[in-house]
Structure 1
Amino acid sequence: MYVAVKGGERAIENAHAWLAEERRGDTSVAELAVAQIREQLSLAVNRVMAEGSLYDPDLAALAIKQARGDLIEAIFLIRAYRTTLPRFGATNPVETGKMACDRRISATFKDAPGGQVLGPTFDYTHRLLDFKLTAEGEVPEAPTAEPRHEPTPHITEFLQGEDIIQREPESEATPGDLTRQPMSYPSGRDIRLQSLTRGDEGFVLGLAYSTQRGYARNHAFVGELRIGTVAVEMEIPELGFAIEIGEVELTECETVNQFAGSKTEPPQFTRGYGLVFGQTERKAISMALVDRALRWRELGEDDLGAAAQDEEFVLSHSDNIQATGFLEHIKLPHYVDFQSELELVRKLRREAGVEEVREAAE
Structure 2
Amino acid sequence: MYVAVKGGARAIANAHAWLDEARRGDRDVPELGTDQIREQLSLAVDRVMAEGSLYDPELAALALKQARGDTIEAVFLIRAFRTTLPRFGGSLPVATADMQIKRRISATYKDAPGGQVLGPTFDYTHRLLDFGLAEGRDVPPAPMAETGLESAPHILSHLGGEGLMQAEPDGAGAVPDLTRDPLEFPAERALRLQALARGDEGFLLSLAYSTQRGYGRNHAFVGELRIGAVRVSAHLPELGFDIEFAEIVLTECESVNQFQGSKTAPAQFTRGYGLVFGQSERKAISMALVDRALRAQELGEDMSGAPAQDAEFVLSHCDNIQSSGFLEHIKLPHYVDFQAELELVRKLRRAAGADALPEAAE
Q: Does the CA-based 8 Å contact 1:199-1:320 persist in structure 2?
A: yes
Structure 2: give runs of 5+ residues left out of the alignment. Answer: none
Q: 1:321 to 1:225 in 2, by over 3 A?
A: same
Secondary structure of 2:234's counterpart equals strand
Secondary structure of 1:258's counterpart equals strand
One-letter amino acid matched to 1:187? A
Q: Which residue number in structure 1 is paired with residue 319 of structure 2?
A: 319
Q: Which residue number in structure 2 is paired with residue 48 of structure 1?
A: 48
Displacement after TM superposition at 1:236 (Å): 1.5
Q: 1:16 to 1:358 in 2, by over 3 A?
A: closer
Q: Does the CA-based 8 Å contact 2:172-2:190 persist in structure 1?
A: no
One-letter amino acid matched to 1:349? R
Task: Give CA-to-partner distance per residue, 1:160-195, whole Å, 9 cap, x none.
Answer: 011011111222512111111111111010000000
Provide the identity percentage. 72
| Residue 190 in structure 1 maps to residue 190 in structure 2 | yes
Q: How does 1:32-181 map to 2 (within 5 A)?
A: 32-171=32-171, 173-181=173-181
Secondary structure of 1:119's counterpart equals coil
Q: 1:356 to 1:247 in 2, by over 3 A?
A: closer
Query: Segments of 4+ in structure 1 off by > 4 A?
Result: 3-6, 356-359
Q: Does the CA-based 8 Å contact 1:100-1:147 persist in structure 2?
A: no
Q: Distance in 1 between matches of 2:149 and 2:141?
A: 23
Q: 1:242 to 1:11 in 2, by over 3 A?
A: same
Q: 1:10 to 1:165 in 2, by over 3 A?
A: same
Q: Does the CA-based 8 Å contact 1:38-1:57 persist in structure 2?
A: yes
Task: Give CA-to-partner distance per residue, 1:294-331, whole Å, 9 cap, x none.
Answer: 00111011210000000000000000000000000000
Q: Does the CA-based 8 Å contact 1:107-1:224 persist in structure 2?
A: yes
Q: Distance in 2 between matches of 1:104 and 1:214?
A: 28
Superposition TM-score, scaled by structure 1 size = 0.96
Task: Give CA-to-partner distance per residue, 1:93-138, whole Å, 9 cap, x none.
Answer: 0000000000000000000011000000000000000001011353
Q: 1:347 to 1:263 in 2, by over 3 A?
A: farther
Q: Which residue number in structure 2 is paired with residue 342 of structure 1?
A: 342
Task: Give CA-to-partner distance per residue, 1:33-79, whole Å, 9 cap, x none.
Answer: 00000000000000000000000000000000000000000000000
Displacement after TM superposition at 1:239 (Å): 1.5
Displacement after TM superposition at 1:4 (Å): 6.7
Q: Does the CA-based 8 Å contact 1:96-1:230 persist in structure 2?
A: yes
Bigger mean CA offset, 331-340 vs 255-264: 255-264
Q: Does the CA-based 8 Å contact 1:265-1:299 persist in structure 2?
A: no
Q: Distance in 2 between matches of 1:5 and 1:310?
A: 44
RMSD: 1.6
Structure 1: give runs of 5+ residues left out of the alignment. Answer: none
Q: Does the CA-based 8 Å contact 2:48-2:60 persist in structure 1?
A: yes
Displacement after TM superposition at 1:224 (Å): 0.0
Q: Distance in 1 between matches of 2:178 and 2:357?
A: 57
Q: Does the CA-based 8 Å contact 2:220-2:256 persist in structure 1?
A: yes
Aligned length, in residue pairs: 357
Secondary structure of 2:268's counterpart equals coil
Displacement after TM superposition at 1:6 (Å): 5.0
One-letter amino acid matched to 1:110? K
One-letter amino acid matched to 1:332? L
Q: Which residue number in structure 2 is paired with residue 240 of structure 1?
A: 240
Q: Distance in 2 between matches of 1:179 and 1:30?
A: 38
Displacement after TM superposition at 1:8 (Å): 0.4
Displacement after TM superposition at 1:355 (Å): 2.2
Superposition TM-score, scaled by structure 2 size = 0.96
| Residue 207 in structure 1 maps to residue 207 in structure 2 | yes
Q: Does the CA-based 8 Å contact 1:225-1:252 persist in structure 2?
A: yes
Q: Distance in 1 between matches of 2:347 and 2:145?
A: 74
Q: Which residue number in structure 2 is paired with residue 279 of structure 1?
A: 279
Task: Give CA-to-partner distance per residue, 1:258-312, whole Å, 9 cap, x none.
Answer: 1112233221111000000000000000000000000011101121000000000
Displacement after TM superposition at 1:223 (Å): 0.1
Displacement after TM superposition at 1:157 (Å): 0.4
Displacement after TM superposition at 1:221 (Å): 0.3
Q: Distance in 2 between matches of 1:228 and 1:89?
A: 24
Q: Which residue number in structure 1 is paired with residue 332 of structure 2?
A: 332
